[in-house]
Structure 1
Amino acid sequence: MEAMTKSIEIPDCYYPKEPTLVCPSSSTPRHTLYLSNLDDQKFLRFSIKYLYVFKRPIVVESLKASLSKALVEYYPLAGRLRSSEEDEEKLEVDCNGEGALLAEGYVDLTADEFLKGSAKPNRSWRKLLYRVEAQNFVGVPPLIIQVTHLRCGGMILCTAINHCLCDGIGTAQFLHAWAQINAKPNSDLMMITPFHDRHMLKPRIPLEISFSHPEFNGHPAHDPSFNLLTQILLSQPLAPVSLTFTPSHVLHLKKQCIPSLKCTSFEALASHVWRAWVKSLDLPASLRVKLLFSVNVRKKLKPELPRGYYGNGFVLGCAETSVNQLVTSNAHYGVKLVQEAKNCIDDSYIRSMIDLLEEKRMKPDLSASLVISSWSKLGLEDLDFGEGRPLHMGTLASEIYCLFLPVTGDLHAFNVLISVPQAVAERFEHYCLKGLDSREEKEDIEKVNGGRGYCLDVV
């Protein structure tokens, strides 16, 4: 287990010219794109920000040309968000071909210098993504890109993709399409044809809310335990914590559930991190705590969402228990809660949630919740524009929600990044590391994977 302690301050970027709008290279449909209730949730009104470090530069004019071609297929990303005329709280996309914003900058930094301090993002990293001045979220282009040239000849590529248009799977799908076009400009074959329409996720008439949906149920305002947690989370600055879990660490966690319970790497790690988070905060034993995590529903719906669907095709799974039960029980208990939360999500549950969001524009209950978003099985670390895979793939910022990030060069490892109150950061690291520093024996690895060695499993 490795605890990442270093961060790096990014110098100011120099912009030799104003950013440009990159428009689709040929005509695209002009219409209004309906966004589903899973798309335009209030808690998704931000951009997913990815950061890539490349050893060799990619010619910016080539990137613009390939982006222009990619936007012919992904034309909504060249449009603009707006409020619906029928319901001002409902968002839609004006597919007007206005274009994605691309900025080009220079910074006095080398790739090696960045990599040495790349574990923990800080506020200075925001310099690597051009800031658009807008009155509100709706006024920001759905796709913003900055190419930053480094002193060593390498480059950093940052992308901000509006979450209301794409989820993690959708953003990865778009980025790989763009990279493929740049790497093979004479090839007309796109990896996956994007599916734009969102009407398959429209609410039912009449609405039918048949589940309680605990992910949206908050704590009573007068609950003293809840008020204490709020005070803990808001009373001090947040500190980023970055931990790398190797395949051996993950297998050790999975082994704790065998033979009575088989689980995926995500289930074992999510339960472990949740438990460490709760223990580090030293919360009242009776407080109810939640683990919220994204669950891909593309194949859970009836009919299934079409291949290439790049909109938001996920809902939040919700595991819930008391602090006392979580911290005093064995690993089996937390993993079982995660599995039960996943297994209850079927077509009926998803449709009920869509209907609930039609009736009430609700946000998930984040008051006593750890939120985990997994980026580790999306292939984001394999992005290749023709000059090789990135030296580093990560996020531009560390937030209070928890990210499971891919580890470049190790398909089965996870980098866990989260910001916690400064006073508990060391305790959180301690509880994550506890019991995971022993070397795994070969027979333990084989036992976990049924004698097959390392195995790849998904969320």
Structure 2
Amino acid sequence: MNVRVESSRIIKPFYDGKKDPPSTKQHIPLSVFDKVTYNSHVAVIYAYRPPTPQNAILELGLRKALAQYREFAGRLGLNDKGDGAIFLNDEGMRFVEASIDSTLDQAMPLKPSPALLSLHPSLKGVEELVQVQLTRFSCGSLVVGYTSHHLVADGQATSNFLVAWGQACRGLDIRPVPFNDRTLFVPREPPIFEFEHNGVEFMNKKLKDNYIVEDAFDEEIVVHKVHFAVEFLAKLKARASSSNGNNERYSTFKCLVAHLWRAITKARGLNGFETTMMRISVNGRVRLNPKVPDEYFGNLVLWAFPSAKVKDLLREPLSYAVKLIDNAVAKVNNNYFQSFIDFATHKVEEEGLVPTADMNKSVLCPNLEVDSWLRIPFYDLDFGGGSPFIFMPSYFPTEVL
């Protein structure tokens, strides 16, 4: 696609008539959940059919949303203690206007490919914590390319910001307002290290430096976007439930992930005695006790790590893999989250540990990484004409589900 950038500039929060805007001298320390996640930008793509609002309306809506979500208008840095923090300096986000001399239908279908990278700003060397690119097609269709830094917000929090942007564009009050308290996660005294976290969420820095090898296969990885029929999913769930011995009903997500785990493992032709593992994201908002509201703005995700010998995964029925996933996810409960908070607060710096989360690895064989967006309201970004007809991640050549 021959995308032409018309303008690129910084926009800042709009406080809508407030005589005393908030101080730009404050900062918010990163929480233990912020520090353990991926230290990189992530990008998504939206597409809307005409009519769509003018760019000026979308820009003003963003500025109003930034007034509520000030972290995204700030910058990452270190505080006077040397800890990672978000500085609420209102330095703003990047706003890009672009156009293309063809219709969106001519570019369809939008597949995960390097062509998508022209529909949003670059993810490399970015100081701004949020970037938006509005690309207008000759037919009047609009593609919105959005990027944000993962250290600031996870998928749930990011989607809340995007929904707020749509509300502001429609002249509505932003509801609900973000819950910004990142001091919730207080370690227990004395700390209780009930679970192992070294080698799970964290690893020794020297060990990680020796472990990471530059991947040379990016150009050989083909990214597929797949739709599964409702009938196929129903049969998959019925097969998993009928063979587990007690007719336990498993979720569609767990059944599909188990099926893909087995199919990909078989296609890889791995040695039967090799171990394969999955990294599955788990939202802590509903797992902590007391629960943390959905409007919490920040990161609150850990991971489940089901694993199996290749020969067992392929020999046993589908229900075996589903049960492994179900058990692993169930273990990431309130006790696990509390143990993580204690460990991350007291042991990480002491033992010289760093996060295992790494978006720079593109080849994960014999393992897999799984992120579910099923319950995250990304499709609720409505500028006044309804939900997008396309929502998808940008092109990222790696082995994930």
Q: TM-score range by the shorter chain?
A: 0.7 to 0.9
How many equivalent residue pairs?
Answer: 371
Conserved in 2, the CA contact under 8 Å of 1:67 and 1:178? yes
In structure 2, the partner of 1:373 is 371
In structure 1, the partner of 2:4 is 14
Alpha-carbon distance between aligned partners in 1 of 2:135 and 2:7, rounded to the nearest angstrom: 13
Query: Counterparts of 1:265-280 in structure 2 under 5 Å?
Result: 265-280=252-267
Q: CA offsets per residue over residues 283-319 of structure 1, 9 Å max, x none?
A: 1111111111111111211222134102112111110
Note closer, same or farther for the CA distance 1:340–1:381 as it changes in structure 2 (3 Å cut): same
Query: Counterparts of 1:76-91 in structure 2 under 5 Å?
Result: 76-87=71-82, 90-91=83-84
- Is 1:395 the equivalent of 2:393? yes
Conserved in 1, the CA contact under 8 Å of 2:103 and 2:139? yes
Note closer, same or farther for the CA distance 1:281–1:232 as it changes in structure 2 (3 Å cut): farther
In structure 1, the partner of 2:251 is 264
Alpha-carbon distance between aligned partners in 2 of 1:86 and 1:277, rounded to the nearest angstrom: 46
Q: 1:321 aligns with which of 302, 308, 313?
A: 308
Note closer, same or farther for the CA distance 1:245–1:25 as it changes in structure 2 (3 Å cut): same
- Is 1:208 the equivalent of 2:192? yes
Conserved in 1, the CA contact under 8 Å of 2:13 and 2:66? yes
Note closer, same or farther for the CA distance 1:47–1:204 as it changes in structure 2 (3 Å cut): farther
SS at match of 1:243: coil
In structure 2, the partner of 1:106 is 99
Alpha-carbon distance between aligned partners in 1 of 2:41 and 2:216, rounded to the nearest angstrom: 24
In structure 2, the partner of 1:437 is none
- Is 1:121 the equivalent of 2:112? yes
How big is the shift at 1:113?
2.1
Note closer, same or farther for the CA distance 1:329–1:235 as it changes in structure 2 (3 Å cut): farther
Query: Counterparts of 1:193-272 in structure 2 under 5 Å?
Result: 193-213=177-197, 215-216=200-201, 234=217, 237-259=220-242, 260-272=247-259
Note closer, same or farther for the CA distance 1:385–1:217 as it changes in structure 2 (3 Å cut): closer
Q: 1:302 aligns with which of 280, 283, 289?
A: 289
How big is the shift at 1:196?
0.9
Q: CA offsets per residue over residues 199-225 of structure 1, 9 Å max, x none?
A: 11244455432212464488xxxxxxx
In structure 1, the partner of 2:163 is 176
In structure 2, the partner of 1:286 is 273
Alpha-carbon distance between aligned partners in 1 of 2:275 and 2:123, rounded to the nearest angstrom: 40
Conserved in 2, the CA contact under 8 Å of 1:384 and 1:390? yes
Query: Counterparts of 1:331-410 in structure 2 under 5 Å?
Result: 331-358=318-345, 359=348, 360-364=353-357, 368-403=366-401
Structure 1: where are the runs of 5+ without partners?
A: 1-9, 219-226, 404-459
- Is 1:35 the equivalent of 2:19? no
Note closer, same or farther for the CA distance 1:181–1:364 as it changes in structure 2 (3 Å cut): closer
Alpha-carbon distance between aligned partners in 1 of 2:371 and 2:162, rounded to the nearest angstrom: 18
How big is the shift at 1:236?
7.5
Q: What is the identity, as a one-letter code, of the residue corresponding to 1:374?
A: S
Alpha-carbon distance between aligned partners in 2 of 1:369 and 1:36, rounded to the nearest angstrom: 28
Conserved in 1, the CA contact under 8 Å of 2:202 and 2:356? no
TM-score scaled to structure 2, two decimals?
0.85
Conserved in 2, the CA contact under 8 Å of 1:24 and 1:97? no
Alpha-carbon distance between aligned partners in 2 of 1:70 and 1:364, rounded to the nearest angstrom: 29
Q: CA RMSD in A?
A: 2.5
Alpha-carbon distance between aligned partners in 2 of 1:378 and 1:274, rounded to the nearest angstrom: 23
Note closer, same or farther for the CA distance 1:233–1:98 as it changes in structure 2 (3 Å cut): closer
Conserved in 1, the CA contact under 8 Å of 2:202 and 2:354? no
In structure 2, the partner of 1:424 is none
TM-score scaled to structure 1, two decimals?
0.75
In structure 2, the partner of 1:155 is 142
Conserved in 1, the CA contact under 8 Å of 2:218 and 2:398? no
How big is the shift at 1:271?
0.8
- Is 1:58 the equivalent of 2:53? yes
Structure 2: where are the runs of 5+ without partners?
A: 204-210, 359-363
In structure 1, the partner of 2:15 is 25
SS at match of 1:161: strand
In structure 1, the partner of 2:207 is none
